[in-house]
Chains A and B, each alone.
Chain A
Amino acid sequence: MNLKNNKRAYVIAYTGILLSLAIVLNIFESMIPPIAFLPPGIKLGLSNIVTMYCLFFIGKSSAIAITLLKSTFVLITRGYIAGLLSMTGGLCAIGIMILLIVVFKNKSSYLLLSIFGGIFHNIGQISMASLILETPLLIYYLPFILIGGLIAGTLTSVLLRILMPALNKIQIR
Chain B
Amino acid sequence: MNKNRKFYKRVDIILIALVLSIGFGISLLQNDTDSTDNERYAYIYYENILVTQIDLKTAENKTFELKEDPEIIFQIKDGAIAFISSPCHDKICIKSGYIFHDGETAVCLPEKTVLTIKSSAKTDVPDVIVR
Contact = CB atoms under 8 A, between A and B. Distances in A.
Interface string A131-162: 01111100110110011011000100100010
Interface in B80-120: 89-90, 92-93, 95-99, 103-107, 109-110, 112, 114
Interface majority SS on A: helix, strand, loop or mixed? helix
A108 B11 CA distance: 9
Given A34-B96, A133-B114, A112 B109 contact: no
Which of A79, A80, A132, A140 has the largest number of chain B CB atoms within 10 A?
A: A140
B19 interface: yes
A115 interface: yes
A56 B5 contact: yes
Contacts of A92: none
A157 to B, nearest CB: 7
Contact of A133 (B22, B103, B112, B125): B112
B6 A110 contact: yes
Which of A30, A36, A80, A154 has the largest number of chain B CB atoms within 10 A?
A: A36
A134 B2 contact: no
B112 A112 contact: no
Which of B105, B106, B112, B114 has the largest number of chain A CB atoms within 10 A?
A: B105
B20 interface: yes
Interface residues of A, number: 40
Interface residues of B, number: 43
A109 B6 contact: yes
Which of A57, A109, A115, A119 has the largest number of chain B CB atoms within 10 A?
A: A109
Interface of A: 30, 33-34, 36-37, 40-41, 56-57, 78-82, 85, 106, 108-112, 115, 119, 129, 132-136, 139-140, 142-143, 146-147, 149-150, 154, 157, 161
B61 interface: no
A167 to B, nearest CB: 13
A56 B6 CA distance: 12
B9 A112 contact: yes
A109 B12 contact: yes
Which of B109, B125, B126 has the largest number of chain A CB atoms within 10 A?
A: B109
A34 B95 contact: yes
Given A36-B97, A111-B7, A82 B90 contact: yes
Interface string B13-34: 0011001101110110010000
Contact of B131 (A33, A110, A134): A134
Contacts of A82: 89-90
Contacts of B92: 34, 40-41
Given A119-B19, A133-B114, A150-B19, A111 B8 contact: yes
Given A36-B96, A109-B12, A115 B107 contact: no
B129 A112 contact: no
